[in-house]
Amino acid sequence: MKAKTFTLTLLSTIGLFLTVVSAMCYCYGFRFNTSISYPTGLYRLAGTSAIYRKGDLVLFCPPDNTIMQTALKRGYINPGTCQGGFTPVIKKIMATGGDVVAFDRQVSINAQPVPQARMLPTDSKDRPLPSPAPNQLAPDTYLMLSDHRPVVSFDSRYYGPVPAKNVIGHIHPVFTW
């Protein structure tokens, strides 16, 4: 009986320690990425900005729309603290307000194809994927794409532009693999 009590106490202590460490890391701006869009590992949130530019790597909440609710149910994205119940994600800003974005077999920004940003008609289980209509991005919106694993990333190619208010801040890799 003493061994069982000791084991439970040890497991509880380890669980409490990990919870405290995770909370401290989160408070100091550290995030652990497990998605396939960018390398697995530890990232640091560098803070918010009034201006985000093309090429910035950012942490943001995906838009709360029907497509994202379906993505959550299908397991494309993990549950989390964002409005709609999604986890914040890391992507690169590839287009900003005023840019014209087209979605055909490949994403084009201002009539220039984005390398390796092709559109998949279905997911790995042969379920149809959405394809937004071509449009000019509204002011204060961004097209977010992954340039790490662009073919399999679930990003703005499928759920559309992201409002600037959804951006949490710039994020930088600390230790990834």
Helix (H) or strand (E) holding 19: helix 2-27
Helix (H) or strand (E) holding 74: helix 66-74
Question: Amino acid letter at 71?
Answer: A
User: Which domains does the chain show, CATH number per domain?
Assistant: 32-176 (2.10.109.10)
Output the tens digit of pLDDT for each of the chain's 177 residues. Answer: 566 666 656 656 665 544 444 554 556 689 999 888 899 999 999 877 778 999 999 999 999 999 999 999 999 999 999 999 999 999 999 999 999 999 988 999 999 999 889 999 999 999 999 988 889 999 999 999 999 887 889 999 999 999 999 999 999 999 999
Residue 59 tokens read as 């942490």
Residue 39 tokens read as 């390398």
Residue 177 tokens read as 């693999």
Which residue, chain included where needed, has tokens 């289980």?
A: 125
